Structure 1
Amino acid sequence: MTKDDRTLGFYTQEASAYASRGDYLNFKHIEAFLALLPADAAILELGCGAGRDSEFMIGRGFSVRPTDGTPELAQAAEQRLGIPVATLLFADLDESETCDGIWANACLLHVPREDLPGILAKIHAALKTGGVFYASFKAGEAEGRDQFDRYYNYPSESTLRAWYAASDWADVTVTAERGGGYDGRPTDWLHVVAIR
């Protein structure tokens, strides 16, 4: 299982700037995700960044366990949220049926293509039966790097579906949407909701 040091290096070096970005106002994907969960759901957030999404979910009364692969961002999230935030690389997730929901907004898009089916299998194992998993990806046809030298797997919808098919999901829904990103450029996004 590989990790991309250049991508992690970006988040380490830019943690303060990244954490101080303005919050977006569109929470429709979190709202849709939370609507699929029971009121007492235990949620694991992967790649929580500065903690914005965890803060929103906690504010809605959910039990959230935020994690990030960059210690500096985990620390920033911990300061924002006032709860422990673990440093966790996706490859180190090793749980069995502990979560009702797993939220991975704009983070698994940094996982090398050859590693993603294995990461999705780990996420599948961590979910309880009927658990809900959300992830978002920048769409494309071939892996590559952005202007900040961050690695992206840039999948097409058919590629994404093939990666998810390697695990036994009960249902996988993919929606395409135009949006933006840290680089300020228009971006084609793929949003995936999978049910174990």
Structure 2
Amino acid sequence: MADESTSSFYNDNAATYASRQRLLPIRRLDAFLSLLPPGAAILDLGCGGGQDSAYMLSKGFDVTPTDGSPAVAKQAEILLGHPVEVVRFEDLDEEEAFDGVWAEASLLHVPRAALPEVLERIRTALRPGGTFHATFKAGEAEGHDGFGRYYNYPSAELLSEMLSNGGWHNIVITEGDGSGYDGKPTRWLAVRTQK
């Protein structure tokens, strides 16, 4: 589903991307984890270099790290010391297997037209009452960045509508300024919702 230039970027730059200096989103991680029972089963969907998975594992959670790029998954395995499944969003096929799904800066590469189906796959993978977290780069129109990576650049309104139409509950969307791998100022949307 990811376009060719996006896939190529991650496969060609896996080591550099995975080992970059990156501040953990501790506040978002802790807020997400606080909504889950101790030792809860978490799917890290698009784990990148594995740093968020490592943090959640250190807190005693049962984490399943996955990434759509085989090369990036290998980098995460080195950090985590255990297997990282290669799973593309459109191939997620679990049913009520997780208490939480963490998708930090990953679903932003899903084509807008395919996002409702991917959100439904995530919803199916969650147990009743399960918590879902995702972040997106905000915008109005789909496009590519300077590295050729595709982004769906949604607005908060569009995400809220998609989630509501998909049957999600307790939808909270917050906005904040930051940056990304390209170092450019970025408006971020953080979504937290429940099945």
> How would you bin the TM-score normalised by the shorter chain?
over 0.9
Displacement of 1:168 in angstroms is 1.0
Distance 1:175 1:24 in 2: 19
Amino acid corresponding to residue 38 of structure 1 in structure 2: P
Q: Residue 71 of structure 1 aligns with which residue?
A: 70
1:36 matched to 2:24: no
Secondary structure class of the residue paired with 2:30: helix
Query: TM-score, with normalisation over the residues of structure 2?
Result: 0.98
Distance 1:25 1:66 in 2: 16
Secondary structure class of the residue paired with 1:72: helix
- State percent identity of aligned pairs: 51
Secondary structure class of the residue paired with 1:96: coil
Q: Residue 14 of structure 1 aligns with which residue?
A: 13
Distance 1:26 1:135 in 2: 12
Q: Residue 80 of structure 2 aligns with which residue?
A: 81
Secondary structure class of the residue paired with 1:109: helix
Distance 2:129 2:154 in 1: 26
Distance 2:15 2:119 in 1: 29
Distance 2:35 2:17 in 1: 30
Q: Which runs of 5+ in 1 are unaligned?
A: none
* Cα distance change of structure 1 residues 127 and 144 upon mapping to structure 2, 3 Å threshold: same
CA contact (8 A) 2:134 2:191 kept: yes
Displacement of 1:25 in angstroms is 4.7
Amino acid corresponding to residue 154 of structure 1 in structure 2: Y
Q: Residue 172 of structure 1 aligns with which residue?
A: 171
Stretch moving more, 158-167 or 63-72:
158-167
Distance 2:72 2:165 in 1: 31
Displacement of 1:91 in angstroms is 0.2
Displacement of 1:5 in angstroms is 1.3
Q: Residue 143 of structure 1 aligns with which residue?
A: 142
Query: TM-score, with normalisation over the residues of structure 1?
Result: 0.97
Displacement of 1:143 in angstroms is 0.3
Q: Residue 107 of structure 1 aligns with which residue?
A: 106
Amino acid corresponding to residue 14 of structure 2 in structure 1: A
Could you say what the CA RMSD is over the residues aligned between the two structures, in angstroms? 0.9
Q: Which runs of 5+ in 2 are unaligned?
A: none
Amino acid corresponding to residue 24 of structure 1 in structure 2: L
Secondary structure class of the residue paired with 2:39: coil
Q: Residue 153 of structure 2 aligns with which residue?
A: 154
Displacement of 1:3 in angstroms is 2.7
- CA deviation map 1:125-148 (0-9, x unaligned): 100011000000000000000000
Displacement of 1:166 in angstroms is 2.7
